[in-house]
Each structure stands twice: as structure tokens, then as C-alpha cells.
Amino acid sequence: MNNYLITIIGPTAIGKTALSIKLAQHFGCDIISCDSRQFFKEMKIGTAVPNTAELASAKHHFIQHISVFDNYSVGDFETEAIAKLNELFKENNIQIMVGGSGLYVDAVLKGFDDFPEIDATVREEINAKFDEFGIDYLQNTLKELDAVYYAKLLSENPQTLQNPQRMKRFVEVCLGTGKPYSSFIGLRKNQRNFTPIIIGLEADREKMYERINLRVDLMLKEGLLEEAKALYPNKQLNALQTVGYRELFNYFDGKTTLDFAVEEIKKNTRRFAKRQITWFKRTENAKWFDYQKDINEIIKQINIEIQKN
């Protein structure tokens, strides 16, 4: 395979966008965004969408291409991103992907495991029990039916245990097949027509937190409060259950002060960054660089990886 997908990973506010643009200009290629929060056209400021100058500096794909009212899954993204890459590789055998959504990165690099179709009545039953008993029902059922996968989530990705949509899927597979969800993982090997070259950006924790706090302050200056207020009437939408908006919705509800909401955004963004680091540090064959590393050193490493293949 002589196609290469340079994939830039790392926590929020670390400088992934700036690096991706410099690399796209150097290699004369496009950028695939896999930041799931930046897909939504109504969520610009709070998701740190590249600004007008940045978008003009390199061709971007999957930036603000859908609405918060659309149903759009990671599977939809995988299908569309692979199709777009196949198209782009015809013009240039080097392309770039960038983003902080680990699941979406994995979807493009590795694809999904092959799960059987589940009878719709199983889903209806799970929804009914969730409505009655809440997230505890999903957690307890998964723990009972697939203790291995439950333990894996608890240790590696505990926030998923609080995600009703994903937890319903895990339980659905267990109940619908009579087998643990984990038993289906790894059964299908997805074929890709490219070699990934994975570049990770990192910083010491103090510097990372400082950058996050400054970014939140900048978002507020740019109009995050007004953006969140416009979205507030639809606060129940799944796309809006995210850091930067939830906290301001609580402020609009009269549950907190604005100052408290802002501090919560900073705190929860720092927690989000820690979860991103945990996820990405498991990525095989990633080459990690300090966020201030000279780009020529990163390009040198990329060229070494290309020559290996």
C-alpha cells in the first residue's frame, strides 16, 4: 500500500489544528476532521471549529457538515470518511486526519467489529426498562451479562458507562444474541487501502491545563454565551450533551451562577482532556511529540515512516 494517512491525535487545545494545517501545506493535501463535536453547524465557538483563515489555509472535510437535529452515527462517519479518502488518494497518496474523538479515529483506522442484526423488540424492551429504571438498569445488566467488557469500560473508559446510547447497544447485543458483547469484538478484520502514520501531541499537565483555561476564556469573548443561548431551547438533543454547553444550560436554568458555570466548563474540559490522553496513549505505533516541537522534526519522522513502508 502506498497511500498514507497522517493522523494527528492528542488532547483538546494542544495544537492539533495548527499542526494539521502546516502539514497539509507541506504535503499539498487535504484534511479529514474526526472531531465529532465539530461536525455540527450550530456549534462553532464551543467546539473550537477552525477559524476562517485556518479553513482557507487548507481544504477541510467534515467540518460543520450536519445539524444537531440530524441522526449521525460513528458508523455513518466511517462510511463517509473512507469514501472521501478513497477519492482524495487518487489525487495525492498522502492525506491528513485530525481530531480528538478517539472512537472516530479508530473507526477510520480500524473500522468496527461485525455484530449481528438484533430483533427490534429487544431494543424496545431495553428502552422501556431504561425509561423506568434509568442508567442503573443498563449498567447492572451489562455487568451481569458481560462482566469482562464491563470491567474493561470501568478501568479504561468509565464515562461510557454513563452514556445511555452506547450502553443500550451493549445490552442489546447481549440480550439479542445470548452472547457477551465482547465475544464479537475482533471477529472482522477491516481492510484499509492506506498505512496510518500516527503523530501524537502532548504537554506537561500544568501547561495543558493553562491552554485549556485560556481557550475557554477566548470562547467566551468570541460569543459562546450567545451561541449556547440560541441552542438552549433544544438542550435535550444528544449532540448538545457536551462540555461547554451543558454547564451554560444549567446557568440558563437558574441552577448556577455564570462564574460557576465558566469554572465548571474549565474543570470538565480538563477532565475530558485526561480521558482523551488515556484513550490515545493506547494507540499502537503512535509517535509522540511535545506540542512545541519544531515541525521539521515531525516532518522528518513522517518521512522516515513512509520510507519504512
- Known binding residues are 10-17
d(CA 284, CA 274): 18
Query: 160, 166 in Cβ contact below 8 A?
Result: yes
* Cell 469482562 belongs to residue: 148
**What is the grid cell recorded at 137?**
438498569
* Antiparallel, parallel or unpaired: β 31-33 and 60-61: parallel
Q: Which residues are part of a known binding site for ATP?
A: 10-17
Task: State the Cα angle at 10 between 300 and 80, rounded to 5°.
Answer: 90
Count Cβ atoms below 10 Å from residue 1 Cβ, excluding itself.
10
**What is the grid cell recorded at 175?**
440480550
d(CA 12, CA 208): 9
Residue type, 209: Y
d(CA 40, CA 234): 14
Residue type, 234: N
Determine phi and psi for 42, rounding to 5 degrees: -85, -10
